[in-house]
Amino acid sequence: MFLYHISRVLDALATTLGRGERPEIKSLAQQLCLHVAIDHARGLACAYGDELVGRMPISNYDYYFDKLYDTLLPGDEHEHLVELARTVGNAAEPLDFIALGDLLAGTAMGALFAPYEHDHRVA
């Protein structure tokens, strides 16, 4: 069930980004998934560089991934989950969601997907 909800968050994020829109982060799970997406983009840029983006217009923001974190992620509440999943998970994966799901208890898992209340992060 955990991976189903994570996949829904990733699908919604991909749809939003595919439309060229800025994602509105409303839960800890969305923060976590956006962090993973930026990490993955950074990895692709390092591995393939111009091969993937050679025909795209050049921008001053190309390969400026730290700015993406600062601009798109509203806070760093998710960072402890990233570190936790990397510590216990498969090192070959960008983030081991299966290991993370195994570590989270019911209330923590519920908080991961709970929407923030009134723009205050309580999850």
Domain-located, residue 64: yes
| Per-residue model confidence (pLDDT) at position 56 | 63
Q: Answer whether residue 123 is part of any domain.
A: no
Tally helices (H) and strands (E) across the chain: 7, 0
pLDDT exceeds cutoff 60 at 21 = yes
Q: What percent of the chain has pLDDT over 70?
A: 75
**67 within a domain of the structure (yes/no):** yes
Q: Which domain holds residue 16?
A: 2-113
Answer whether residue 122 is part of any domain.
no
Query: 59-115: per-residue pLDDT in tens?
Result: 666 667 777 777 787 777 777 777 777 777 666 666 777 777 777 776 777 777 788
- The count of domains in the chain is 1
pTM: 0.72
Q: List the one residue out of 20, 47, 23, 46 whose CA is nearest residue 35.
A: 23
**Within a domain: residue 76?**
yes
pLDDT of residue 53: 63
Between helix 106-113 and helix 2-18 the angle, nearest 10°, is 10
CA dihedral 86, 92, 93, 96 (to 10 degrees): -50
